[in-house]
A and B are shown apart, each in its own frame.
Chain A
Amino acid sequence: MPKVGVIAVGQSAFVRAYPGSIRELAFEAFKDALGGSGIKTEQIDASVICSAPEYDKQRTPAGLVAEYLGLNPQPTFYVESVCSSSSSGLRTAYALIASGLHDVVMVLGFQKMSEISSAESQERMGRGADIQWEAPFGTMMPAYYAMYARGHFEKFGTTEEDLGLIRLKSSTYGVVNEKAVFRKSLTLDKIMEPKYIATPLKMMDCCANADGSSCVILASEQKAKELCEKPVWIRGLGMATAPINMAGRDTFSGLKCAQLAARRAYDMAGLGPKDIDVAEVHDCFTIAEMMAYEDLGFAEPGKGKELIRNKETYKEGRIPVNVDGGLLSKGHPIGATGGSQIRTIVLQLRGAAGPMQVPNAKIGLVHNIGGVGIYGNVSIFSVD
């Protein structure tokens, strides 16, 4: 397999309501990625634009974004897998480069969740599930993940406080991440306030909506070495899917798509969970991070709670996870989230993560899930 490297990463601040249009929001991440990199717009051979279309008023945003970034007449198109759209974008860009079709490809993810009114957003929320067989019952994301939380509690004895500890860790790092939407310091008492959204998940178990954008630029081995002093190489890409309908799921204590995606990514990289120095996992809800510990093999099934109780996933621990605050603190602008996770790992591997830096991080992993375990993307990166 030819080598493909990440040569630039960027991200907008994640905010409640971005005071501009989607093209301007996309530009923020693009400018952050290109600024100081020495890469010029005309060196980008193609762009892959990612968002979740139910939040966009603009039809076919790829064309609009490419024009605003000055990326005409190069090829551009749109890739979507809801919350994991920009990881699917990474997979697409990798294939475009590994095939020899292009040398330099940009993945730009964005979401302006405030583009639509809260009433419209409420209406769309109900359509995130199978609209024929599930949405007629009144379904929403927190309720689905809550059923997984109950499944995990029942099978393994995990508690609400274990999930609270995950939020506590997240807030520790959200405080120091200048691009996070939620930067308040939290106490376990505050986190454990019984404000239930869908039992057993409480307010603080859930991430916030946000507006934001992310940008990842990839290149072939030769171009990466020409254009970048410290390329970060893609070592493994795993993707897997599971039935959208809950009636098709065989377990409620882990996400099958993540387990399979992890195995494929580890196999491609020739690495295992013990080799990972730092990880970004899809913590749209605290239970999602708990399951990720186990689905990625950082802990045996049911032992994820020991990791967080012993602070093993803190920056100083055995396997630091989401030391940028994760989705819980950064916010979750759907189409931008995967690219933001990739950016964090690239900065970590370059030693450029500032107060969030994990010392000597050489191999990093991104776990990015679309829907409630419909799409699972696991990507592994290393400095050499």
Chain B
Amino acid sequence: MGFEQFGIVSFTSTTKAEKFVDLLKEGKVCGTACKSCGAKFFPPRSDCNACLSDEMEWFDVPGVGDLITFTQAMYAPAGFENDVPYILGVAQFDDGVKVFGRLDKSLKEENIKPGMKMKLKVVDLDNDRLSYVLTQA
């Protein structure tokens, strides 16, 4: 329990990676790295598919990345209707780490371009929930 605090709507409450939420509370967006072979994962994994180890340590997603692609959603699935329009995107960070998520609400679509420098920011949501957004670096 604890993972249900992640995101605008939660679909699952139990995962071995729930420390992700505790780290968000500390203002950190983290992935996992395999202690045995060094493989890095975002989103975090509890098990390494490269060497089968389950010994993981948490690392901060490195500072500044490049926006690869984005879209502004004009319609939304159930539970997200009040948010539209909202922008979703993918950014590339160092060490091969890619991050998918919402873009900061303060960013206007017409000012967003692939290649833009992005960083991650933890955001507090209603009802004691929290998430991260991609925001301009």
- Band of interface residues on A: 35 or more
Residue of B10, B43, B74 ringed by the most chain A CB atoms within 10 A: B74
A sample of 17 cross-chain residue pairs with beta-carbon separation below 8 angstroms, ordered by A number, consists of A123-B79, A132-B11, A133-B43, A135-B11, A137-B101, A138-B9, A140-B77, A142-B73, A142-B75, A151-B68, A151-B69, A198-B71, A198-B73, A200-B71, A245-B43, A246-B90, A247-B99
Cα(A125)–Cα(B90), bound, Å: 20
- Give, as a whole number of angstroms, the nearest-CB distance from A185 to chain B: 26
Given A137-B131, A247-B98, 18 other A-B contacts at CB below 8 A? A119-B78, A123-B79, A132-B3, A132-B43, A134-B100, A136-B8, A137-B88, A137-B102, A138-B80, A139-B88, A146-B73, A150-B69, A151-B68, A154-B69, A196-B74, A199-B72, A246-B98, A247-B90
B46-89: which have CB < 8 Å to A? 68-80, 83, 86, 88-89
Partner of B6, one of A136, A151, A245: A136
Is B15 an interface residue, CB under 8 A from the partner?
A: yes
For B3, list chain A residues within 8 Å (CB).
132
- Give, as a whole number of angstroms, the nearest-CB distance from B137 to chain A: 18
Partner of B98, one of A151, A154, A200, A248: A248
Is B36 an interface residue, CB under 8 A from the partner?
A: no
Cα(A196)–Cα(B101), bound, Å: 20
Cα(A380)–Cα(B80), bound, Å: 41
**B133: nearest chain-A partner, CB-CB:** A137
Is A352 an interface residue, CB under 8 A from the partner?
A: no
Q: Mark B3-38, 1 if CB is under 8 A from A, else 0.
A: 100111111100100000000000000000000000
A182-211: which have CB < 8 Å to B? 196-201
Known contacts: A122-B77, A123-B78, A199-B71. The answer to whether A136 contacts B10 by CB under 8 A is yes
Known contacts: A137-B88, A154-B114. The answer to whether A123 contacts B77 by CB under 8 A is yes
Is A126 an interface residue, CB under 8 A from the partner?
A: yes
For B77, list chain A residues within 8 Å (CB).
122-123, 125-126, 135, 138-140
Q: Mark A144-163, 1 if CB is under 8 A from B, else 0.
A: 00111111001000000000
Is B109 an interface residue, CB under 8 A from the partner?
A: yes
Is A131 an interface residue, CB under 8 A from the partner?
A: yes
Residue of B88, B89, B99, B131 ringed by the most chain A CB atoms within 10 A: B88
For B11, list chain A residues within 8 Å (CB).
126-127, 131-132, 135-136
Cα(A199)–Cα(B73), bound, Å: 7
For B8, list chain A residues within 8 Å (CB).
136-138
For A245, list chain B residues within 8 Å (CB).
43, 100
Is A252 an interface residue, CB under 8 A from the partner?
A: yes
B76 lies within 8 A of A148 (CB)? no
Residue of A131, A138, A252 ringed by the most chain B CB atoms within 10 A: A138
Partner of A147, one of B69, B78, B79: B69
For B99, list chain A residues within 8 Å (CB).
247
A138 lies within 8 A of B74 (CB)? no
- Give, as a whole number of angstroms, the nearest-CB distance from B77 to chain A: 3
**B15: nearest chain-A partner, CB-CB:** A132
Is A143 an interface residue, CB under 8 A from the partner?
A: yes
Cα(A198)–Cα(B74), bound, Å: 6
A143 lies within 8 A of B78 (CB)? no
**A151: nearest chain-B partner, CB-CB:** B69
**B113: nearest chain-A partner, CB-CB:** A154
